[in-house]
Amino acid sequence: MAGTSRHDREMAIQSKRQLSECTDPVERLRLQCLARGSSGIKGLGRTFRIMDDNNSRSLDAKEFVKGLSDYGVLMEKAEAMSLFQMFDRDGSGMIDFDEFLITLRPPMSSARKGVIMEAFRKLDKTGDGVITIDDLRGVYNAKHHPKYQNGEWTEDQIFRKFLDSFDSPNDKDGKVTKEEFLNYYCGVSASIDSDVYFILMMKNAWKL
């Protein structure tokens, strides 16, 4: 169960509306990501990862500005640079993009985080911190899927499609890390006001 398309649509409309009134650069970037739906923040993270050629998990100002532009974020270069300086807390000229993504996530209560991690642990059967097709076999029943029942897709294709919903559109690797799972559900969470409703939705979806 990924974020419902109805929530995604509502969130996109709401984010675009808030964007027209928002002046805070971090909030503006967050809203531009959320306007793309639940996987918006995760997608930006993916774009940065692709640019991180030396796997340092950090970006300099030039890479940061290029990453925003590649992802289609509409921002003046001066605004992007001031945003970079806000994230470059130690003035080293580099930003850690895990920290950056954590700051970018919409604020979330510990109760919501707890239920998201509970769902992740249930899906990550091998306990290696990554959800793959093999993990899903015993947890997610593909045989009820209409496309399996009409012979259009195999079980593995359904699992792959399921994992792809947590990935960003341009870089699907069939693996979902804890960070990606959290970033995805932060997006879903942003569209749901009530903790009680969010937790209930997660428990029902994952039979927790």
CATH of domain 110-206: 1.10.238.10
User: Quick one: how far is CA 86 from the chain centroid?
Assistant: 22
Confidence of residue 4 (pLDDT cuts 50, 70, 90): low
Q: What Cα–Cα distance (Å) separates residue 102 from each residue in 36, 44, 96, 131, 196?
A: 18, 12, 10, 20, 23
pTM: 0.69
Q: Which of 7-16, 69-78, 117-126, 161-170 has the lowest mean pLDDT?
A: 161-170
Residue range 142-157, pLDDT digits in tens: 888 888 889 899 888 8
Non-local (6+) Cβ contacts of 52 within 8 A are 58, 59, 63, 97
State the CB neighbour count (10 A cutoff) for residue 123: 18
Instruction: Report, at the CATH architecture level, how domain 5-104 is classified.
Output: Orthogonal Bundle (1.10)
Q: Are 124 and 135 in contact (CB under 8 A)?
A: yes
The predicted structure's pLDDT at residue 170:
56
What is the model's pLDDT at position 171?
62
Question: How long a stretch of residues is the chain?
Answer: 208
**Fold match, 5-104 / 110-206:** yes
pLDDT on residue 179: 82
Q: Show the CA angle centred on residue 61, arms to residues 56 and 64, nearest 5°.
A: 70
Structural domain spans, the chain: 5-104, 110-206
